[in-house]
């Protein structure tokens, strides 16, 4: 299934998808994000929906290869989700920045947020919401490289 189609489906359409179709959606999201960011992920992990879930969706995590030399290297780890309900379909990603294996953040810049959207003519684009504050503490415990993708 193409991302354009996935973003325009109703949540009832998703209830009938096979695990292979969910895997294809996850692969398309990750490829689209790699293209948007201009980087290739070093690894990713996808959690597919359980057939008994009332609300269909999936989650995924990924990480880049750290870039730099022996004195300093930086990289991103991220987590994203795809969910669909009566109000529509949402695909969002949160990126965390790491330098020398330690998370870089400040009170106002904890993570970078992006959402995948579809235009009325069916084109898909990533909307960059920018740096966000972790108001609910979802990423508070993630301090070292690799914790997010475990």
Q: pTM for the complete prediction?
A: 0.84
Instruction: State the Cα–Cα distance between residues 48 and 109, nearest whole angstrom.
Output: 30
- Whether 141 is covered by a domain: the verdict is no
- Whether 147 is covered by a domain: the verdict is no
Query: Which stretch of 12-21, 23-32, 128-137 has the lowest confidence by average pLDDT?
Result: 12-21
How many domains does the structure of the chain reveal?
1
- Whether 138 is covered by a domain: the verdict is no
Instruction: State the Cα–Cα distance between residues 100 and 67, nearest whole angstrom.
Output: 10
Region 118-147: mean pLDDT is 89
Whether the pLDDT of residue 47 is over 70: the answer is yes
Residues of the domain holding 118: 3-132
Instruction: State the Cα–Cα distance between residues 20 and 35, nearest whole angstrom.
Output: 22
Q: What is the pLDDT of residue 87?
A: 64
Greater model confidence, 1 or 138: 138
Whether the pLDDT of residue 54 is over 70: the answer is no
- Whether 146 is covered by a domain: the verdict is no
- Whether 68 is covered by a domain: the verdict is yes
- Whether 149 is covered by a domain: the verdict is no
Please, which pLDDT band fits residue 79 given cuts at 50, 70 and 90? Answer: very high
Instruction: State the Cα–Cα distance between residues 44 and 36, nearest whole angstrom.
Output: 16
Whether the pLDDT of residue 22 is over 90: the answer is no
Helix (H, G, I), strand (E, B) or coil at 138: coil
How much is the CA Rg of the chain, to the nearest whole Å? 16
Greater model confidence, 65 or 19: 65
Q: What is the pLDDT of residue 4?
A: 76
- Whether 81 is covered by a domain: the verdict is yes
Instruction: State the Cα–Cα distance between residues 84 and 57, nearest whole angstrom.
Output: 6
Q: What is the pLDDT of residue 91?
A: 86
Please, which pLDDT band fits residue 89 given cuts at 50, 70 and 90? Answer: confident
Q: Could you tell me if 23 and 10 are in contact, meaning their C-beta atoms sit under 8 angstroms apart?
A: no
Q: What is the pLDDT of residue 19?
A: 78
- Whether 142 is covered by a domain: the verdict is no
Q: What is the pLDDT of residue 63?
A: 92
């Amino acid at each position: 299934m193409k991302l354009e189609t996935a973003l325009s489906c109703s949540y009832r359409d998703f209830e009938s998808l096979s695990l292979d179709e969910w895997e294809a959606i996850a692969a398309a999201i990750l490829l689209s994000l790699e293209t948007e960011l201009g980087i290739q992920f070093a690894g990713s992990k996808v959690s597919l929906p359980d057939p008994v879930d009332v609300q269909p969706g999936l989650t995924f995590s990924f990480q880049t290869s750290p870039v730099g030399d022996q004195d300093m290297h930086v990289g991103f780890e991220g987590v994203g989700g795809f969910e669909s309900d009566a109000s529509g379909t949402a695909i969002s990603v949160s990126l965390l920045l790491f330098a020398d294996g330690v998370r870089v953040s400040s009170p106002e810049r904890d993570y970078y947020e992006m959402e995948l959207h579809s235009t009325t003519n069916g084109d898909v684009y990533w909307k960059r919401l920018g740096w966000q504050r972790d108001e609910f503490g979802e990423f508070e415990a993630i301090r070292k490289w690799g914790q997010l993708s475990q």
